[in-house]
Structure 1
């Protein structure tokens, strides 16, 4: 767990699982895999096994020790709903998040149907607590089904991470969506992002009253091209629209 983060929309990270496997084009230049693999074979290093999927039960209780409220990005170095993560382990992660109710947990997945099915079982009679934000990653128009799965899940706060945005998204169904993050790809093989793709998403969020957060243009280094869109920063969060959240619960 890191008590700080360079990710603009969170305060800290918590990784009870690390490692993953690629599932769609948005994974092609995965920053987490690139970082982890640098340390493969380094004795004693947390990433001695590189980006191999690894459960880390010793980290399950970490957020409970953090008494100052934080926004915590869950599994920044993995996907909690990878098919090889046991359901029993996922349940323990949710146990901790439910207990640590003074934090806001931000959980993202590309395995959207698996998350939906887990949430339907765990929260059969009510939505997940509002301090647990559930989101899906969507990189292009071909991955819009992930949004449908999220909309079908019993979540009080649902969000989209459209990063890396590698193609036009087109028309978005934002019903029941409470936050949208957009960002370009970074790293040595970063794919370019058209400003028109970003504006199209921004304008749909404005029309639907959904908070919009523009993370970065991307490039070789994440910050090299800045974060401004049409002359301003877009740093909205779900709590910026309290009436929307109240209506969704």
Structure 2
């Protein structure tokens, strides 16, 4: 249920409750749903299950340890649920207790990752749960993130995420199921509006913030879908150009063979072929050269398992962290 997380970008995981409902392509092979099918009964509508009082006490111990060490620890909340799930089985008391827990643990950075960005504004009202400060410009120890498995979901969810103030705004492109262009969201944008006389005149101006952190990972598990290396490289290059932190978490079930293949050249487009080897342990990927007819270059992904596939991209690991971490806030 928590602590000593195996997730590379956090120290602990905490689940205030368990259960969810599949809502997008990223959910098709959900590891949490598979776990719940063996150990619980909390997937689908109206069956969320709150975790034990002992589990809820763990973050207090993590906070105490972080404070004693002069560190900050990142906590992923919730790996087996969605904090912004609007299912009716999640009571206001559960959510209120969670906000109080965030407030009592200022040495923990709470990472809230959701696919339900349309619900964030509705639930970011901690003052409704007793003597708590308003969300305002965001609590300094609560980060907001969303999953963007493909371009469609990126275009829908990211603007809703960026509309909310937060100490850190991030995306997790995992499982990455296709090429994604995040360029419009990696730099702040200015906006302005002049009102006509019929509206009383005047004008308004503001800034749309940027993403602070991009996490990328492939899918794991027996039904995992392969991820093309150029999809990962594309996001890495976008982040590097914009100065945004990039974190490559894993290849997942499918990884590139060694030695690593030569990346596609700029201006090329990539896609997976449908062909697989006879034993279904190799998937071909084709690089189509724009403006060069049928000339192409093949790249393959081997089914080797998450551990063997590892997390090396083009010969190195990528462990970028958001600016708030580089400015001196310690981490474990």
Q: Is the 8 A contact 1:116 1:150 kept in 2?
A: no
Number of aligned residues: 236
Q: Is the 8 A contact 1:81 1:90 kept in 2?
A: no
Verify: 1:213 aligned to 2:218, yes or no: no
Of 130, 134, 138, the match for 1:128? 138
Mapped partners of 1:73, 1:8: distance in 2: 11
Is there any run of 5+ residues in structure 2 with no aligned partner, and where? 67-72, 128-132, 189-209, 254-302
Residue of structure 2 equivalent to 1:99:
104
Mapped partners of 1:178, 1:195: distance in 2: 23
Of 118, 122, 126, the match for 1:117? 122
Alignment of 1:120-159 (within 5 A): 126-144=136-154, 145-159=156-170
Q: Is the 8 A contact 1:38 1:50 kept in 2?
A: no
> CA, structure 1 residues 120+178, in 2 after alignment: closer, same or farther (shift >3 Å)?
farther
Mapped partners of 2:91, 2:229: distance in 1: 40
Mapped partners of 2:91, 2:234: distance in 1: 38
- SS, match of residue 307 in structure 2: coil
Mapped partners of 2:7, 2:144: distance in 1: 17
The CA deviation at 1:226 is: 1.3
Verify: 1:73 aligned to 2:76, yes or no: yes
Residue of structure 2 equivalent to 1:182:
216
Return structure 1 stretches of 4+ with deviation > 6 angstroms: none
Structure 1 window deviating more from structure 2 (164-173 vs 101-110): it is: 164-173
The CA deviation at 1:75 is: 1.0
Structure 1 window deviating more from structure 2 (63-72 vs 11-20): it is: 63-72
The root-mean-square deviation of aligned C-alpha atoms, in Å, is 2.2
Residue of structure 2 equivalent to 1:242:
327
Q: Is the 8 A contact 1:158 1:177 kept in 2?
A: yes
- SS, match of residue 159 in structure 1: strand
Residue of structure 1 equivalent to 2:234:
200
Residue of structure 2 equivalent to 1:86:
91
- SS, match of residue 62 in structure 1: helix
> CA, structure 1 residues 86+117, in 2 after alignment: closer, same or farther (shift >3 Å)?
same
Q: Is the 8 A contact 2:20 2:42 kept in 1?
A: no
> CA, structure 1 residues 50+101, in 2 after alignment: closer, same or farther (shift >3 Å)?
same
The CA deviation at 1:183 is: 0.1
- SS, match of residue 20 in structure 1: coil
Mapped partners of 1:240, 1:103: distance in 2: 13
Mapped partners of 1:177, 1:61: distance in 2: 32
Q: TM-score, normalised by structure 1?
A: 0.87
Mapped partners of 2:2, 2:51: distance in 1: 15
- SS, match of residue 112 in structure 2: strand
Structure 1 window deviating more from structure 2 (153-162 vs 233-242): it is: 233-242
Of 312, 319, 326, the match for 1:228? 312
Structure 1 window deviating more from structure 2 (144-153 vs 21-30): it is: 144-153
- SS, match of residue 124 in structure 2: helix
Q: TM-score, normalised by structure 2?
A: 0.66
Q: Is the 8 A contact 1:81 1:111 kept in 2?
A: yes
Once the two structures are superposed, residues 179-217 of structure 1 have per-residue CA deviations (whole angstroms, 9 ceiling, x without a partner) of 110000000010010111111111111111111100011
Q: Is the 8 A contact 1:60 1:92 kept in 2?
A: no
> CA, structure 1 residues 202+189, in 2 after alignment: closer, same or farther (shift >3 Å)?
same
